[in-house]
Amino acid sequence: MSLLADVQQADRRLTERIAAGASPRLHQMLSAVEEMAEGSKLWCGAAAVLAWKGGRRGRTAAAAGVTSVAVAQLVSNGVCKQLVDRRRPPKEWIPHDEVEDRPDSSSFPSGHTAAAVAFTTAVAPTWPLVGALCAIPAAMVAVERVQSGAHYPSDVAAGAVVGLAGAWFVRRVPRLIRHYVL
């Protein structure tokens, strides 16, 4: 069996299990967090609080977080979704009506997950406690994207990789510029 076939089979098993496994209360909580994260509102709000209340460290963390979100969104939604036209998971796999309220765009990768991971990963080096706290809603967003039928688990994993790369890029570029240019 090919690697692609193995990934597709794992995607189906995990999607069906996650979509069917959430209790109504958990389903409601995941949906609420995803709604806050829509359009990166959650991450921009967290950045505003960090910048307002966190002093210099908060402003540094906020700037890194918001910039990383922008890079991750550009790569995931502006590049990857344009290059990879992947359909959303079949509606038959999702045993609830939330599957009717999902985007028509390409499923690959998860832009929500990319933004969540980018913000969390970029904030953590400057303020580890805030990074750890942000990891909770970031994980909830990732699970919700599969649970709602908006994404396959492999889309979420790819979004996480894009988010990690975006944060790494934002954190490293100033050092590289100082080292090689200045």
pLDDT tens digits, one per residue of 54-89: 999 999 999 999 999 999 999 999 999 999 999 988
For position 182, what pLDDT does the model report? 64
- Residue 55: what pLDDT? 96
DSSP-derived secondary structure for 116-156: HHHHHHHHTTT-HHHHHHHHHHHHHHHHHHHHTTS--HHHH
Q: In this predicted structure, what is the pLDDT of residue 45? A: 96
pLDDT digits (tens, 9 = 90+) for 95-115: 777 767 777 888 899 999 999
* pLDDT tops 80 at residue 40: yes
What tens digit of pLDDT does each residue of 80-100 get? Answer: 999 999 998 888 888 777 767
What digits encode the pLDDT tens for the residues 18-32?
Answer: 888 778 888 889 888
Q: Residue 143 and residue 132: Cα distance in Å, rounded?
A: 17
Indicate the DSSP class of residue 98.
G
